[in-house]
């Protein structure tokens, strides 16, 4: 039964398998934007300081008693990300799932066409009415919003679209949300730690009112922050609602205290991490000048179309010692396969020159 589905995927060049990244190769495929996950100084200093109160969360956060550090971290993170409160989920996927699947049915959801699979899945579980607007199109969204005058609304976007590296028109979406009295849910998975002062994200960089009750941000902790978790930053009212309704929060064991220690450590070491972020932006600036690198983020893509072509390019690059990602259907549209690469703070100009020589 399952075999036929597996064969079909293989036949269509859509087969996925788990691989280990060869440490001799230059990693252009992961989302370790600041190079933090492999940074020896960071690893050593964190492990030296590590004093977890317990090794496992042992239960859902709703079971009292063990999760003091979680509360402390959420306060610390809310202060850092300038929201009234925050709530830590085990992953960004679970945070998105928790929010949208628990949204009361009277809400109307307006979601960008290119939103991440976790948002699509989350929204599909919601009882609300759903409208998809054209990718990054304020104009399309405005027309749709004007047709829906009644009832509470939430607009859902990503700050940086991970499959294309594009920044959303965040200021315009925010103005539109305010004009229509809608909530704006911004998935900052690919901008948290990379954009904004000290890595507070694109909403901060674009000057949004971070503690506004209509703004809800999801900061992914698994990418630039080299850790794990999805942190929803919002008003105390929204956070209280999630604690009472979000099933992926309520019926799941809390984030490991070891992870919470690391998340908290990251904020304590923000000056060290900020140096990495500044290094990344200075590298991106050089790439703009030297190679006309046009992306608005550290993410670059090369559109190849046919799945087979993208896989071949990936294999050729691997022979040159460079590992890139290949994005195929259903992650992107059919016959729109791309090679995706991520510039990181610790890359040398030579690494990137090598990549561009083969890719362009
Ligand atoms: C835009 C976006 N949102 C959410 C997620 C899910 O986050 P996590 O990996 O923490 O589950 C991802 C992960 O790839 C993502 O790219």
Residue appearing with tokens 């600036």:
285
Q: How far apart are CA 311 and CA 320, in angstroms?
A: 15
β-bridge partners, 130: 109
Cβ neighbours for 147, distance < 8 A, ≥ 6 positions apart: none
- Digit-coded pLDDT (tens) for 127-158: 999 999 999 999 999 999 999 878 999 999 99
DSSP string, 93-126: HHHHHHHHHTS-TT-EEEEETT--HHHHHHHHT-
101 Cα–ligand 1 center, Å? 16
220 Cα–ligand 1 center, Å? 7
Atom 7 in ligand 1: residue holding the nearest Cα: 92
Closest atom of ligand 1 relative to the 116 alpha carbon = 1
CB 189 less than 6 A from any atom of ligand 1: yes
β-bridge partners, 218: 187, 232
CB 164 less than 6 A from any atom of ligand 1: no
Pair of tokens at residue 323: 């590992």
β-bridge partners, 26: 322
- Which pLDDT score is estimated for 68? 84
- Digit-coded pLDDT (tens) for 213-239: 999 999 999 999 999 999 999 999 999
Are the CB atoms for 61 and 74 separated by under 8 Å? no
Q: How far apart are CA 81 and CA 88, in angstroms?
A: 13
1 Cα–ligand 1 center, Å? 30
Write down the domain spans for the chain: 13-40+271-359, 58-268
Q: What size, in residues, is the chain?
A: 360
Atom 3 in ligand 1: residue holding the nearest Cα: 189
How many helices, marked H, and strands, marked E, lie in the chain?
14, 12
Closest atom of ligand 1 relative to the 221 alpha carbon = 10
123 Cα–ligand 1 center, Å? 14
Atom 9 in ligand 1: residue holding the nearest Cα: 92
Please tell me the CATH code under which domain 58-268 is placed: 3.40.640.10
- Which pLDDT score is estimated for 66? 64
CB 92 less than 6 A from any atom of ligand 1: yes
Please tell me the CATH code under which domain 13-40+271-359 is placed: 3.90.1150.10
Pair of tokens at residue 246: 């979000």
96 Cα–ligand 1 center, Å? 9
CB 112 less than 6 A from any atom of ligand 1: no
342 Rama sector, left if φ>0, alpha if ψ -120 to 50, beta otherwise: beta
Atom 4 in ligand 1: residue holding the nearest Cα: 92
Strand blocks (E) in the chain: 26-27, 85-89, 108-112, 129-133, 153-158, 183-187, 215-220, 230-234, 299-305, 322-323, 325-327, 337-342
Closest atom of ligand 1 relative to the 161 alpha carbon = 1
- Digit-coded pLDDT (tens) for 161-171: 998 899 999 99
222 Cα–ligand 1 center, Å? 8
Neighbour tally for 41: CB within 10 Å: 8
- Digit-coded pLDDT (tens) for 306-358: 989 999 999 999 999 999 999 988 888 888 999 999 999 999 999 999 999 98
CB 98 less than 6 A from any atom of ligand 1: no
Domains 13-40+271-359 and 58-268 share a fold: no
- Which pLDDT score is estimated for 65? 64
Mutate which of 123, 194, 220, 221 for ligand 1 pocket (most atoms within 8 A of beta carbon): 220
Is residue 74's pLDDT more than 80?
Answer: yes
CB 158 less than 6 A from any atom of ligand 1: yes
Q: What is the reported pTM?
A: 0.95
Q: Can the peptide bond before residue 330 be classed as cis, meaning omega within 30 degrees of 0? A: yes
Is residue 241's pLDDT more than 80?
Answer: yes
């Amino acid at each position: 039964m399952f075999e036929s589905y597996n064969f079909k995927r293989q036949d269509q060049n859509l087969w996925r398998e788990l691989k280990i990244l060869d440490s001799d190769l230059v990693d252009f495929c992961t989302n370790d934007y600041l190079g933090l996950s492999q940074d020896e100084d960071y690893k050593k200093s964190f492990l030296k300081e590590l004093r977890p109160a317990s090794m496992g969360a042992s239960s859902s956060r709703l079971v009292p008693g063990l999760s003091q550090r979680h509360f402390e971290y959420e306060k610390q993170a809310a202060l850092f990300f300038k929201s009234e409160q925050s709530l830590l989920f085990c992953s960004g996927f679970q945070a998105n799932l928790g929010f949208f699947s628990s949204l009361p049915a009277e809400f109307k959801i307006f979601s960008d066409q290119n939103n991440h699979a976790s948002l699509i899945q989350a929204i599909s579980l919601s009882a609300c009415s759903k409208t998809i607007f054209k990718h990054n199109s304020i104009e399309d969204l405005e027309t749709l919003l004007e047709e829906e005058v009644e009832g509470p609304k939430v607009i859902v976007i990503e700050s940086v679209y991970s499959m294309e590296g594009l920044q959303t028109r965040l200021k315009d979406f925010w103005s539109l949300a305010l004009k229509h009295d809608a909530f704006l849910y911004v998935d900052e998975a690919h901008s948290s730690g990379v954009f904004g002062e000290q890595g507070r994200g694109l909403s901060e960089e674009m000057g949004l009112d971070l503690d506004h009750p209509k703004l809800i941000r999801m900061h992914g902790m698994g990418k630039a922050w080299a850790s794990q978790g999805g942190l929803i930053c919002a008003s105390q009212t929204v956070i209280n609602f999630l604690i009472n309704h979000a099933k992926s929060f309520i019926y799941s064991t809390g984030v490991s205290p070891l992870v919470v220690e690391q998340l908290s450590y990251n904020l304590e070491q923000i000056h060290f991490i900020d140096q990495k972020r500044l290094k990344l932006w200075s590298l991106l600036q050089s790439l703009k000048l030297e190679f006309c690198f046009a992306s608005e983020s550290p993410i670059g893509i090369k559109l190849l179309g046919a799945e087979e072509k993208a896989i071949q390019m990936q294999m050729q690059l691997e022979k040159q010692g460079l590992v890139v990602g290949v994005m195929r259907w259903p992650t992107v549209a059919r016959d729109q396969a791309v090679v995706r690469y991520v510039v990181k703070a610790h890359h040398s100009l030579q690494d990137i020159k090598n990549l561009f020589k083969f890719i362009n």
